[in-house]
């Protein structure tokens, strides 16, 4: 009798292991309920620019009740963007303004969207990272030539060339008094006629 029980126990363990393996393999080949995620990689919620919000876009394979959270690098929820909203299949688009649930700006760092699908009992951390950057770039003027000019249209000394460098990719604006004269994107050299 003890031999039959030990054989039965081994058979049950082998059967349970095979069943667990089959379920695991089935989950691996099950198509993801979320397709084509696109998340803005870097944004600055404190700037007065186009990149002050992060766009979050993905496709739902089928309708579901969705909760969309923003989590920090420790996996802690800092903002609940969507709370259990029933969504159709197709493209889902939201934006995050870099604020937490209390309305304060989050600190610089890496954040990710987390999607909970209630009907499917699944929670998915999207692999796309968003980096919140709240430190303004520094600008260093390399040269200004000529130092004095008179833009009176006579063709002499009507133009100034300003060369500068930036600590990171940024947009440069040139103001003469209160008037904005030139906007340049991601450049290390700016020329302006004033």
Name the strands in the sheet holding 139-145, side by side, starting at the edge strand that comes first in the sequence.
Answer: 139-145, 159-166, 189-193
Statement: residue 111 has pLDDT above 90: yes
Give the span between the Cα atoms of 51 and 90, in whole angstroms: 25
Domain ranges of the chain: 1-30, 31-132, 139-193
The architecture of the domain spanning 31-132 is Sandwich (2.60)
Kindly report, residue by residue over 29-74, the tens digit of the pLDDT. Answer: 678 888 889 988 887 777 766 677 888 999 999 999 999 999 999 9
Q: Which tokens go with 187?
A: 């450049």
Look-up: residue for tokens 């604020």?
99
C-alpha–C-alpha distance, residues 191 and 194, integer Å: 10
pLDDT tens-digit series, residues 117-172: 999 999 999 988 888 887 777 888 888 877 777 777 676 767 777 788 888 777 67
Question: What predicted TM-score, i.e. pTM, was given to this entire model?
Answer: 0.63
């Amino acid at each position: 009798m003890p031999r039959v029980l030990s054989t039965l126990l081994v058979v049950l363990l082998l059967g349970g292991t095979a069943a667990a393996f089959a379920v695991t393999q089935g989950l691996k080949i099950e198509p993801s309920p979320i397709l084509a995620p696109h998340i803005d990689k870097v944004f600055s919620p404190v700037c007065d620019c186009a990149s002050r919000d992060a766009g979050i876009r993905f496709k739902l394979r089928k309708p579901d009740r969705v909760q969309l959270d923003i989590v920090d690098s420790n996996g802690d929820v800092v903002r609940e963007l969507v709370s259990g909203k029933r969504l159709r299949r197709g493209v889902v688009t939201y934006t995050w303004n870099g604020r937490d649930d209390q309305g304060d700006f989050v600190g610089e760092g890496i954040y990710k969207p987390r999607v909970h699908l209630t009907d499917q009992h699944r929670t998915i951390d999207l692999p796309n990272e968003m980096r919140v950057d709240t430190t303004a770039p520094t600008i260093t003027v390399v040269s200004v030539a000529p130092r004095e000019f008179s833009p009176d249209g006579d063709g002499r000394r009507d133009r100034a060339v300003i060369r500068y460098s930036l600590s990171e990719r940024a947009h440069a604006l040139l103001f003469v008094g209160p008037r904005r004269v030139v906007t340049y994107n991601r450049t290390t050299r700016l020329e302006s006629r004033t």
